[in-house]
Amino acid sequence: MSRVIQAAYVAVAASTILLVACSKERPEGGATLAATAEKAPPAPATNAAVRPNYWQDIGPLFRDKCIDCHGDATAAGFVLSSYDHVLARASMVRHAVAGRHMPPWGIESGCGTFDHDPGLAADQVALVTTWIDNGMPEGDPRSAPPPTPRKELVQPLAGPLTTLSFGQGYEPGPGDAIDRCFLVEGADVAAGFVTGLSLPRDAGLRQVTLFAVDTDSAADAARALDAADAEPGFRCPTQRLANTRVLASVTSGEPVLRLPSGTGFALTAKQRFIAQTQFEILFSDRSIRRGEISLLVEANARPARWVEVRADASKVKTNERAATIEEWSVIQGAGQVYGVYPFMRRLATSLQLRIDRPEGRGRRCMIQQTSWQYPMLRVPRFYTSPIPLEAGSLGVLSCRYNTLEFSAVAAGVSRAVDEECAALLYLVD
Ligand code: HEC
């Protein structure tokens, strides 16, 4: 709390300095490319002593928090690693930081303690917005703090990986943002446990959600969908196919996923899968570069499973900015909960899960996900330490959607909102 007040105080102080230092009229809008409807930020101020400035404040912060993904154009489409780059995107950056869309995460603190929280603290958000509102002073390169050793880039999975290929010959069309599903069979998968997944960096994929296909009839059902569709693969069905299990998702922003140490999902030899794929719309040549995902399969692990807490998303009202559903259900299972995997789609904006212990022994907030962005945030999140789940606990789940967007997209078409509301608990017995 005191940090927030302090940040606000710094903000006031900084703008006062600016008024004094730079009271001449600044030309409007020199530096925006963004298509947002916000007013254009003022052109950069030049006074080297003004705080916050790029070299002393913003550059070091972005080096730490943004350029793992915005250091080159492959992961997130554009670069934020120099003053000029940031300047060119200023109003987008302000929007993304103030709205807490970036770094992508959106998990409120105070509800669950998660590994790898990349979010900006309130004072860091204030630093960025103040800097932009003050005209983005550059400062002096000589005053930049010495670079702290940069946090490691995403560590690749160690060990022999099993690579699954899919989607050969498919060309994402104008509906490229739509999920496409591919049955993956014939891969040389050893019996064991999948303990990690990784998406190649330059493959042109934005998200892959992998499902295990556990029976011949489930594989037949997928093959039939594929055969009925002129293009390779098929439109992912609204209802999940019977006898398929969701495993996990990886995204271009978070391309490597490690399951909690010593745990994994059981696979059979020659396991079949469905890869639910979102393509990177920034690649203009349309053909997928490589439909590919790699798995780390280990012989031994403690078996984990996803236990679903689900609410009926077909009840979501259309034509509302904040259509909310909330349901409770008894959670089927007991053990240690290592993580939670918010499972919603494009119209969703937030999700909250609470667990009520049996016999009124108390309740626990499990996750509060805001600023939902389906392509980037549908990934499992793991707690810093596991949470015990007692038999007979209740899961109370609520999801919120903006269905105005849906009404616009589907104008004149009457169909159910194609959404989901589920939170999957990573349970180890
Ligand atoms: C984990 C990877 C990752 C990190 C870290 C990250 N970004 Fe992004 N960012 C992305 C991806 C991926 C996109 C493309 C999203 C899309 O097109 O939907 C993106 C898009 C953006 C956009 C475009 C507008 C928007 O909201 O989608 C802005 C602006 C942005 N990022 C700013 C930042 C800033 C500032 C930081 C650091 C404070 C940051 N990002 C950190 C992955 C990341």
Residue with tokens 């299972």: 333
Residue type at 223 in one-letter notation: R
**Predicted local confidence at residue 418, as pLDDT:** 80
Kindly report the protein residue whose alpha carbon is nearest to atom 17 of ligand 1.
76
- Contact between 378 and 342 under an 8 Å Cβ cutoff? The reply is yes
Residue 86 near ligand 1, beta carbon < 6 Å: no
pLDDT at 146 over 80: yes
| Cα distance between residue 293 and residue 39, in whole Å | 42
Residue 222 near ligand 1, beta carbon < 6 Å: no
Q: What is the average pLDDT across 99-127? A: 89
| Cα distance between residue 190 and residue 270, in whole Å | 7
Residue whose C-alpha is closest to residue 377's, from 328, 325, 340, 425: 340
pLDDT at 41 over 60: no
Residue type at 38 in one-letter notation: E
Q: What is the average pLDDT across 170-191? A: 84
Q: What is the average pLDDT across 68-94? A: 87
For residue range 198-251, list pLDDT tens digits in order: 998 778 888 999 999 999 999 999 999 999 999 999 999 888 899 999 999 999
- Contact between 93 and 132 under an 8 Å Cβ cutoff? The reply is yes
Region of poorest pLDDT, from 168-172, 375-379, 422-426: 168-172
- Which contacts qualify for 39-45: CB closer than 8 Å, 24 or more apart? 40/91, 41/90, 41/91, 41/94, 41/132, 41/133, 41/135, 41/136, 42/135, 43/135, 44/87, 44/135, 44/136, 44/137, 44/138, 45/18, 45/21, 45/134, 45/135, 45/136, 45/137
Region of poorest pLDDT, from 170-184, 225-239, 357-371: 170-184
Residue 407: pLDDT band by 50, 70, 90 thresholds?
Answer: low
Residue whose C-alpha is closest to residue 81's, from 92, 93, 68, 71: 71
Residue 427: pLDDT band by 50, 70, 90 thresholds?
Answer: very high
**Predicted local confidence at residue 19, as pLDDT:** 33
**Predicted local confidence at residue 282, as pLDDT:** 59
Residue 141 near ligand 1, beta carbon < 6 Å: no
Q: Which two tokens stand for residue 159?
A: 């060990």
Q: What is the average pLDDT across 152-174? A: 85
Residue type at 230 in one-letter notation: A
**Predicted local confidence at residue 151, as pLDDT:** 60
Residue whose C-alpha is closest to residue 157's, from 255, 73, 87: 255
| Cα distance between residue 205 and residue 254, in whole Å | 12
- Contact between 388 and 313 under an 8 Å Cβ cutoff? The reply is no
Residue 71 near ligand 1, beta carbon < 6 Å: no
Residue 303: pLDDT band by 50, 70, 90 thresholds?
Answer: very high
Higher pLDDT, 92 or 100: 92
Q: Which atom, in ligand 1's list, is nearest to the CA of 282?
A: 17
Higher pLDDT, 288 or 385: 385
Residue 136: pLDDT band by 50, 70, 90 thresholds?
Answer: very high
pLDDT at 413 over 60: no
- Ligand 1 centroid to residue 191 C-alpha, Å: 38
Residue 177: pLDDT band by 50, 70, 90 thresholds?
Answer: low
Residue whose C-alpha is closest to residue 182's, from 94, 300, 290, 256: 290
Kindly report the protein residue whose alpha carbon is nearest to atom 26 of ligand 1.
96
Q: What is the average pLDDT across 158-179? A: 82
**Predicted local confidence at residue 287, as pLDDT:** 60
pLDDT at 27 over 80: no
Instruction: Name every residue whose Cβ is closer than 8 Å to that of residue 152 and which is 6 or more positions away in sequence.
Output: none
| Cα distance between residue 155 and residue 175, in whole Å | 33
Q: Which two tokens stand for residue 35?
A: 């298509």
**Predicted local confidence at residue 8, as pLDDT:** 36
pLDDT at 89 over 70: yes
- Contact between 262 and 302 under an 8 Å Cβ cutoff? The reply is yes
pLDDT at 13 over 70: no
| Cα distance between residue 39 and residue 29, in whole Å | 8
**Predicted local confidence at residue 118, as pLDDT:** 83
pLDDT at 272 over 60: yes
Distance of CA 86 to the CA centre of its chain: 22
Q: Which two tokens stand for residue 107?
A: 């998990």
| Cα distance between residue 407 and residue 413, in whole Å | 9
| Cα distance between residue 166 and residue 181, in whole Å | 9
- Contact between 274 and 211 under an 8 Å Cβ cutoff? The reply is yes
| Cα distance between residue 149 and residue 220, in whole Å | 52
Q: What is the average pLDDT across 329-352? A: 96
Q: What is the average pLDDT across 21-34? A: 34
- Contact between 382 and 253 under an 8 Å Cβ cutoff? The reply is no
**Predicted local confidence at residue 239, as pLDDT:** 84
- Contact between 166 and 226 under an 8 Å Cβ cutoff? The reply is no
| Cα distance between residue 419 and residue 380, in whole Å | 18
Q: What is the average pLDDT across 397-406? A: 89
Q: Which atom, in ligand 1's list, is nearest to the CA of 99?
A: 26
Residue type at 300 in one-letter notation: N
To 5 degrees, how large is the angle CA 187–CA 75–CA 170? 45
**Predicted local confidence at residue 201, as pLDDT:** 79
Residue 280 near ligand 1, beta carbon < 6 Å: no
Q: How far is CA 195 from CA 29, 113, 207, 261, 302, in A?
A: 49, 22, 18, 8, 10
Residue 260 near ligand 1, beta carbon < 6 Å: no
pLDDT at 23 over 50: no
